[in-house]
Amino acid sequence: MPTQVVELDRRSTLSVIHVRDDVRGIFVVVTDGGRPIELIRIQRPADGFLNVSSILNAGCADAGEPAAPRGQAAQGQRAADRVALKPTPVSVVIPTHERPDDLARCLQSLALIRSEHEVIVVDNAAATNRTAEVAGRFRVRYVAEPTKGLNRARNAGLAAARHDVVAFADDDVAVSPGWLTAISECFADPNVGCATGLVLPLELETAGQEEFELYCQHRRDLQRHVYSRNVMRSSAAGIVGMGANMAFRRDLLLALGRFDARLGGGTRTRSADETDMFARILDAGWLIVYTPDAYVWHRHRRTPEEVRSCVFGYGVGLYSLLTKRLLEQRDLGVIVTGGRWLLGPLVKAARAKIARVPSPPWSVVLAETAGALFGPFCFVYEAWRGRDTTRKNAHLCKGAQ
C-alpha cells in the first residue's frame, strides 16, 4: 500500500489533513519558515484525519519513528527570519531526455521564480519534439545537445547560461518555493564555489519507491554543512550532495574544464558525474555548502527493477570516478574511500537486519556492490573511447586544412 507524503509548516493554520483511503502510512516533512526540521513516519489514523497539532507541537518526534537523522532547528537562523539579501541572478539548467511529463512538473514548480533568473532546458539526444513543446509551453529557453550524455547536456546549458551562478536540477524533481533563494544565498561568501541541497521523496506510491527510500533515507541531513579539502578527502566528495540539486559559480566551472563527458548518464560509467566536479572544486581550494533549506522533491524509480538498475549505476559511477582519480591524479586516498564505500553498505545492511530495523533489501545493497566491480573497467573504456574520438577529430581537422 502507498505512503502519503505530506509537508507541514509549524506556522500553518491547518487543524486537520484528510488522509487518503488507500495509504498505509504518512511520511511527514515538518518545516519551520522554509527550513526542514523533522522527517517522520506515522501510521494512518483510523478515522482518516491527521491531527496537525499533534505533529507540530514540541514533541512531534514522539508521534512516529524518525524517517532520517534529525537536524537541530536551533542552529542558525530560520530562512524566513534571515536578513533579506540582494537576490543573486541564477541560471537554472535542466538537462532532459524524452521525459515530457517529468519536465512539465519540474517547470511548473519553477514557474514563480523572479524575472531576474532564467531557466534553460537542455534537450539531450532528442528523438522527438516533445521536450521542445514543453519548453515552449512554459516559455523557457531551449537548447538542443545532439550528443548523448548527461554531462554533455550540462556543459551545453553552462555555455548558454547568462548569469554568474548556475544551478542544475534534474527533470524528475519539483523544487520548493524557497529553493532558488536558499541555494543562491550560499554564494554571498566569495570562498564558496558550490552549493547543494536536500532531496526528498515526491511520492511513495510503489514498492520500488519504498525500496529506494530505504536505500537513501539515511544519507539525508537536516543540518547545514561547509566542506573543504581540510576536513575531508576530495575522493569522498560524494557525501556533499546530489546532482539533482546543486549550483556553481559559472566562471569556476569554466576554469576547471567543465563537466567530464566520460562520466554520468548516457555513458558506460552511468553516474558520479557530480561527485567528480565536487572533488575537483575541493581540490582547487574552494568551499562547498550544503543547506537543507534548498530542498527539492524527487520522483523515485517506480519498479524494483528500476531501483536495482539505478543503484547498480551508482556503484559503477563511484568506482569509475575513483579509478579516474587514481590513474590521472595519482590520488592514493581513493584506496581508503573505495574500501569504505565497498564494505560500509554491506556492514550497515547486516547490522540493520540483525537489529530488525527498516533497511533496503539485500538485492539493492548487492546491486551497488556489483556495480563497483564493473566501475574501473567502464571508466577505462570511456577514457579510451574519448582519446580515440579526439584523435579522429584531430585527423579530420588536419585533413581539412
Quick one: pLDDT at residue 28? Answer: 94
The values of phi and psi at residue 155, to 5°, are -65, -35
Q: Write out the DSSP string of 105-149.
A: HHHHHTTT--TTSEEEEEEES-SSSHHHHHHHHHT-EEEEE-S--
Judged by average pLDDT, the poorest of 14-18, 84-88, 353-357, 359-363 is 84-88
Q: Which residue has the cell 563511484?
A: 318
Quick one: pLDDT at residue 62? Answer: 43
Q: Over the stretch 137-165, which tens digit does the pLDDT of each residue have?
A: 999 999 999 999 999 999 999 999 999 99
Decide if pLDDT at 77 tops 80.
no
Helices (H), 284-361: 304-329, 333-355
CA 363 to chain CA centroid, nearest Å: 23
Contacts of 133 (CB under 8 A, 6+ apart): 100
Report, as an integer, the average pLDDT of 163-168.
Answer: 98
User: What is the bridge-based pairing of β-strands 35-43 and 16-18?
Assistant: unpaired
Q: How far, in Å, are 89, 189, 231, 249 from residue 287 at the CA level?
A: 20, 9, 11, 11
For the chain, percent of residues with pLDDT exceeding 70: 89
CATH fold of the domain at 86-306: Spore Coat Polysaccharide Biosynthesis Protein SpsA; Chain A (3.90.550)
Decide if pLDDT at 350 tops 60.
yes
Q: Mean pLDDT of all residues in the chain?
A: 89
d(CA 228, CA 116): 30
N-to-C CA span, the chain? 66
State the Cα torsion 99-319-67-71 to the nearest 10°: -110
The alpha-carbon radius of gyration of the chain (Å, integer) is 21
125-157 burial by CB neighbour count: b if 16+ within 10 A, else e?
eeeeebbeebbeebebbbbebeeebbbbbbbbb
46-70 burial by CB neighbour count: b if 16+ within 10 A, else e?
eeeebebeebbeeebeebbeebbee
Quick one: pLDDT at residue 65? Answer: 52
Query: Taking Cα atoms as reference points, which of 302, 317, 300 lies closest to residue 367?
Result: 317
Cβ-contact 368, 311 below 8 angstroms: yes
Burial class, 391, CB count within 10 angstroms (exposed 0-12 / middle 13-18 / buried 19+): exposed
